[in-house]
Amino acid sequence: METGASRGLVRGAREREMHDRDNRFAGTAGGGASGHPNRLCYKEDIKSLGRVAIVSGTHGDELEGQYICYEVARRISRNPENLAGVVDIYPALNPLGVDLASKVLPVTGMDMNRMFPGDREGSAMERIAAAVVDDLIGTDLCIDVHSSDIFVQEIPQVRLNEEFAGRMLPFAKLMNVDVIWMNATATVHEATLAHSLNIMGVPTMVVELGQGNSIHMTYGNQVVDGIFNVMHEMGIWTGEVRPPQQPAISSDGKVEFIRSETDGIFLPRSKHNHFVNVGEPIGEIVDPMTGQLKSRITAGRDGLLFTLRNYPVVYEGDLLARILTGIM
Ligand SMILES: [Zn+2]
C-alpha cells in the first residue's frame, strides 16, 4: 500500500470531476487552500463549522479503518451538498507499519498508541505523535478506529474510559455498534491517543471491529452508518441517516475473559455475536497429531459472546473469547 494512501482515499479522480463541475461548493475538498490534504469540506469559512476526525492505522496491521475511511469519503463525495461541516480523515497514522503489516512502529518495535500526547522536543516518533495531537486539537469529535489483532475477531464496539463516559456515551450510542464496553483494558488508558485527546478536551472514542490484516465490509458499513448518524446529530451531515441499533452496554466492565489452558488447535463451536448461557460450548482445543480432544471450552457466565478467536494455533494463556455480562 502506498504511504500516501490518504490522498487516494480522500477523493478519487471521478469525485474531483463531479466536484469541479458543481461550483456551488466553493470550499476545499481533499486539500487545496486549507493546507489539509486529508480534509473534506465544501464551505469557505470553516471556523464556525463542526469538525469530526476519523483516525486509523495507529497499529499498522489493523486495516478495517482503511475501508471505513474510504467509505465515509466516498459517501460524502457522492452527495457533497449534504456536508455542512469539516471531516478530516487520517487513514494511516503509522504509515510505515501499514506498509509492512506491522502493529508497532517498524525498526523501533514501539507501540505508537502508547506514545501520546508525544513531545515536541523529544525523539522523532515523539515529535510525530505531538504533531498528530496538534493537528487534532480543535476537533469536535475524534473517532479512533482499531481492529483487534490478527488472532481474535471483534464485533463492532465502542470502548470508553469511564472517566469520560458521561460526555462520550451519547455519541457512542449513535455509532450503530453492537457493544459499548466501558473501561476496556489498555485500549483507552493513559498514553493512548484517545486518552490523551480526552484529557486535552477533544472528545474521542475508540471503535474496535473485525480482525487484524483483514477487512470485514459488513462490519465496516455498520460503523460507517454510525459515523453518519453522529455527524447528523452534530449538524455536520444533513443527508438521510439510518436509526442506530441499540448496543449492549457493559455496566461496569463485567467482561469474562476466556483463555486457553493448553496448547493446540482451537476449533470454535459457537457463533460470534450471540448470547450464550453458562455451560454452552465455545470451542475445543485439539491435538492434530493424536486426534485427541485436549480441552473443551464452555461459557462460565451468561452474556454476549463479543470476541471470538479466529486464528487456530493457541498456546497456554492465549485469548479465546470474551463474554460481556451485566448488560444494561
Ligand atoms: Zn489497535
Does some domain include residue 12? no
In this prediction, residue 46 has a pLDDT band, given cuts at 50, 70 and 90, of confident
Does some domain include residue 289? yes
CA 147 to ligand 1 center in whole angstroms = 6
Largest CA distance in the chain: 70
Query: What local confidence, expressed as pLDDT, does residue 85 receive?
Result: 97
Cell of 120: 515536541
Does some domain include residue 14? no
Does 273 lie in the same domain as 200? Answer: no
CA 149 to ligand 1 center in whole angstroms = 7
CA 325 to ligand 1 center in whole angstroms = 23
Query: What local confidence, expressed as pLDDT, does residue 90 receive?
Result: 97
How many other CB atoms sit within 10 Å of the CB of residue 13?
8
If one compares 162 and 215, the residue with the highest pLDDT of the two is 215
Does some domain include residue 17? no
Does some domain include residue 120? yes
Does some domain include residue 15? no
CA 168 to ligand 1 center in whole angstroms = 19
Cα(4)–Cα(40) distance, integer angstroms: 16
Give me the number of domains the chain comprises. 2
Cell of 225: 452508518
If one compares 9 and 148, the residue with the highest pLDDT of the two is 148
**Per-residue model confidence as pLDDT tens digits over 259-306:** 999 999 999 999 999 999 999 999 999 999 999 999 999 999 999 999
Mean pLDDT of 153-176: 93
The pLDDT mean for the chain works out to 88
CA 194 to ligand 1 center in whole angstroms = 11
Does 49 lie in the same domain as 167? Answer: yes
CA 280 to ligand 1 center in whole angstroms = 30
CATH number of the CATH domain containing 310: 2.40.50.100
Contacts of 295 (CB under 8 A, 6+ apart): 260, 261, 262, 264, 284, 285
Does 106 lie in the same domain as 42? Answer: yes
Query: What local confidence, expressed as pLDDT, does residue 25 receive?
Result: 36
Cα(210)–Cα(67) distance, integer angstroms: 12
Cα(312)–Cα(294) distance, integer angstroms: 14
Burial class from Cβ neighbours inside 10 Å (0-12, 13-18, 19+) for residue 74 reads: middle
Q: SS3 string of 20-54?
A: HHCCCCCCCECCHHHCCCCEECCCCCCCCCCEEEE
* Domain termination residue (choose one: 246, 274, 296): 246
Cell of 311: 486464528
Does 167 lie in the same domain as 276? Answer: no
Cell of 255: 467482561
Does 272 lie in the same domain as 232? Answer: no
CA 18 to ligand 1 center in whole angstroms = 35
Amino acid identity of residue 218, one-letter, is T
CA 94 to ligand 1 center in whole angstroms = 11
Helices (DSSP H) in the chain: which residue ranges? 5-10, 13-21, 64-78, 95-100, 124-136, 165-173, 193-199, 217-233
Does 166 lie in the same domain as 225? Answer: yes
Does 312 lie in the same domain as 288? Answer: yes
Q: Which of 16-25, 175-184, 194-203, 247-256 has the highest mean pLDDT?
A: 194-203
CA 146 to ligand 1 center in whole angstroms = 4
CA 219 to ligand 1 center in whole angstroms = 16
CA 277 to ligand 1 center in whole angstroms = 30
Query: What local confidence, expressed as pLDDT, does residue 107 receive?
Result: 86
Query: What local confidence, expressed as pLDDT, does residue 234 receive?
Result: 97
CA 235 to ligand 1 center in whole angstroms = 29
Mean pLDDT of 206-231: 97
Give the sign of the dihedral formed by CA 159, CA 167, CA 52, CA 179. Answer: positive
Does 168 lie in the same domain as 54? Answer: yes
Q: List the strands of the sheet with 281-287, edge to edge.
A: 292-298, 281-287, 264-268, 313-314
Least confident of 32-41, 72-81, 189-198, 199-208: 32-41
* Domain termination residue (choose one: 198, 223, 246): 246
CA 148 to ligand 1 center in whole angstroms = 6
Does some domain include residue 18? no
Does 258 lie in the same domain as 230? Answer: no
CA 321 to ligand 1 center in whole angstroms = 18
CATH number of the CATH domain containing 128: 3.40.630.10
Mean pLDDT of 113-120: 95
Residues with CB under 5 A from ligand 1 (ion): 59, 62, 146
CA 232 to ligand 1 center in whole angstroms = 27
Q: What are residue 179's DSSP bridge partners?
A: 157, 248
Q: What are residue 62's DSSP bridge partners?
A: none
Does 179 lie in the same domain as 138? Answer: yes
ω into 117 cis (within 30 of 0) = yes
Does 269 lie in the same domain as 157? Answer: no
How many other CB atoms sit within 10 Å of the CB of residue 279?
9
What's the chain's Rg over C-alpha atoms? Answer: 21
Nearest to 85 by CA among 35, 48, 122: 48
* Domain termination residue (choose one: 246, 272, 303): 246
What range does the domain containing 262 cover?
253-324
In this prediction, residue 185 has a pLDDT band, given cuts at 50, 70 and 90, of low
Does 112 lie in the same domain as 58? Answer: yes
Mean pLDDT of 105-125: 93
Q: Please determine, for residue 250, whether its predicted confidence score (pLDDT) is greater than 90.
A: no
Mean pLDDT of 231-257: 90
Does some domain include residue 307? yes
